[in-house]
Chain A
């Protein structure tokens, strides 16, 4: 893979996406307001849960805010990259415009996963980061190198898992043509990630860890923040992320063999 070429193309993707989005200023403004209101709403909801009981699943409100911060960052990344690109796969397949992607001398997964970008999602990422910084202060977390490295690794793994899940569902469009509903279900499950894994019953914990590893996505990075994460959990998240990423890639290449293109 020619890395220089891919960086050059990605620079162009960024440029064209920003230019496209900036054509509609009001839309960006509405997205920004929505992101702020959504964060305020989530924190308010969380505070209601903690109103009568200081702890949920062994987590204090201040600690649970870390999960909210990580969730906001991940949701921001979803809105910046996954939502504009991966929902487009369904459109590409239904309308047959995937033809243009497949005939370009560039990796098709790279192209359809990163071509678009929604800048308003950045604000959510920023809001999430600010919330995390605030949590670092109120939870008196010691910011050292190993902590930063582990946080970065676990959050990156979370992004990979989330991306792979979404990409996997979108790929099935090649056979099922319409998969909007499945993506909506995934988004709904993602909301679960706003709460600590321990706050759920045992059966739900198993479900959200094994079948749809949403819990991994926010809980493990949050545990790293609070310094009570175990190494095996971090390793497990890393392994799960790697398996998901490789599987989604293989699945895409396999599915392309069944792509019949839309009729003219």
Chain B
């Protein structure tokens, strides 16, 4: 049986946040009498993550995804509740715990700006107590996986964003952690760089059985990497489970555009009992429930003279967007 590597129980986090009225008067008031209020950012959440799982955290900006990741890796103290990661209390930041995890943030960098990435890798290797031979071996292996070579010897400030992100990944993985926390790792990368990064993460997970917790606003990252997603709405979990199931629940019907040979066939199809969205000459768009899609298509192909057929998947960003924006969306 696969063990739980992350166990979160009734976790909450509050922050004191100050607010300021607009204008000069507000600024003066804010300077002399700062008004702060305690805001509960994370509200009583519980979940477990198994070893080797890749879990995507979905949520609108400010929903609390990054705060959860930072509590999981021990950067932020929880206000209440308990967290166990790999058997450790993260906020104690014990050496063995830190050797097991890594945090990669798409918008922040740890590489030394003026030097080639290789210098940062060897610095990290010494921090993780790796000898030169072992560090060299790991750098070679990871650079092959990440498909970087010459870039290792070029100052970081001269690298492209994609090359820099790959180098950041290498620096963060040199100690071969078995839990990866990724906070928007593909932020700002072009499509090819995003795809390469996803390919690498899949490969890394497969080869090392590492657990990956990921937040991203790019749905492609989530769909191609995560089987399971945890949706966060205003600090609370609104869904925790299989991504495909979520999509089926949120989008139970598919739209099918059928191009009939003649307009007569289109009229016949229109009157055959399917839910028609629209009809223009010999082109007709119908809605079919996901559960009956195979049988319905069989019926259509057997009984009507069809020239062409297109199944329109509703864009995943749109479906997930509904969950993230609407407050009381019933999942």
A and B: interacting chains: yes
**Complex interface: chain B residues within 8 A of A264 (CB):** 66, 105, 107-108, 183-184
**Complex interface: chain B residues within 8 A of A260 (CB):** 15, 76
Scan residues 1-44 of chain A and give those whose CB is less than 8 A from a CB of chain B: 2, 5, 8-9, 11-13, 15-16, 19-20, 23-24
**Complex interface: chain B residues within 8 A of A84 (CB):** none
**Complex interface: chain B residues within 8 A of A16 (CB):** 112, 115, 119-120, 123
Does B99 have its Cβ within 8 Å of any Cβ on chain A? yes
Q: Nearest Cβ in chain A — how far from B196, in angstroms?
A: 22
Give Cα distance in the complex from A28 to B110, angstroms. 24
B95 x A99 contact (CB < 8 A): no
Which of A12, A19, A264 has the largest number of chain B CB atoms within 10 A?
A: A264
Number of A-B contacts (CB under 8 A): 80
Which A residues lie at the B interface, using CB under 8 A?
2, 5, 8-9, 11-13, 15-16, 19-20, 23-24, 95-97, 99-100, 102-106, 257, 259-261, 263-264
Q: Nearest Cβ in chain A — how far from B181, in angstroms?
A: 9
Please choose the segment from B67-75, B256-264, B298-306 that sits at the chain A interface, where 4 or more of its residues have CB less than 8 A away: B67-75
Known contacts A20-B114, A264-B107; decide if A105 and B99 are in contact (CB<8 Å). Answer: yes
> Contact partner of B95 among A23, A105, A257, CB < 8 A?
A105
Known contacts A103-B101, A106-B127; decide if A19 and B75 are in contact (CB<8 Å). Answer: no
Known contacts A12-B123, A23-B155, A263-B66; decide if A100 and B110 are in contact (CB<8 Å). Answer: yes
A to B CB contacts below 8 Å, 11 in the list: A13-B123, A20-B113, A99-B70, A99-B103, A99-B105, A100-B108, A100-B110, A103-B75, A104-B127, A259-B75, A259-B76
Does B242 have its Cβ within 8 Å of any Cβ on chain A? no
**Complex interface: chain B residues within 8 A of A19 (CB):** 114-115, 119
Interface mask (B63-101 → A, CB under 8 Å = 1, otherwise 0) = 000100010011111000000000000000101101101
Give Cα distance in the complex from A263 to B124, angstroms. 25
B126 x A9 contact (CB < 8 A): yes
Does B200 have its Cβ within 8 Å of any Cβ on chain A? no
**Complex interface: chain A residues within 8 A of B73 (CB):** 103
> Contact partner of A105 among B66, B75, B112, B127, CB < 8 A?
B127
Interface mask (B243-272 → A, CB under 8 Å = 1, otherwise 0) = 000000000000000000000000000000
> Contact partner of B98 among A12, A13, A24, A104, CB < 8 A?
A104
> Contact partner of A23 among B98, B99, B114, B128, CB < 8 A?
B114
Q: Nearest Cβ in chain A — how far from B328, in angstroms?
A: 26
Count residues of B near A (Cβ-Cβ below 8 Å).
37
B108 x A95 contact (CB < 8 A): yes
A261 x B75 contact (CB < 8 A): yes
Does B129 have its Cβ within 8 Å of any Cβ on chain A? yes
**Complex interface: chain A residues within 8 A of B233 (CB):** none
Does B102 have its Cβ within 8 Å of any Cβ on chain A? yes
Known contacts A103-B103, A261-B76; decide if A96 and B108 are in contact (CB<8 Å). Answer: yes
Does B122 have its Cβ within 8 Å of any Cβ on chain A? yes
* Known interface pairs A5-B126, A9-B123, A97-B110; 6 further A-B residue pairs with C-beta atoms within 8 A, sorted by A's residue number: A12-B123, A16-B123, A97-B109, A100-B103, A104-B98, A264-B108
Nearest A residue to B123, CB-CB: A12
**Complex interface: chain B residues within 8 A of A100 (CB):** 103, 108, 110
Nearest A residue to B113, CB-CB: A20
**Complex interface: chain B residues within 8 A of A102 (CB):** 74-75, 93
Give Cα distance in the complex from A19 to B123, angstroms. 13
A12 x B122 contact (CB < 8 A): yes
**Complex interface: chain B residues within 8 A of A5 (CB):** 126, 129
**Complex interface: chain B residues within 8 A of A15 (CB):** 119
A99 x B75 contact (CB < 8 A): yes
Give Cα distance in the complex from A260 to B115, angstroms. 30
Give Cα distance in the complex from A24 to B115, angstroms. 12
Give Cα distance in the complex from A20 to B112, angstroms. 8
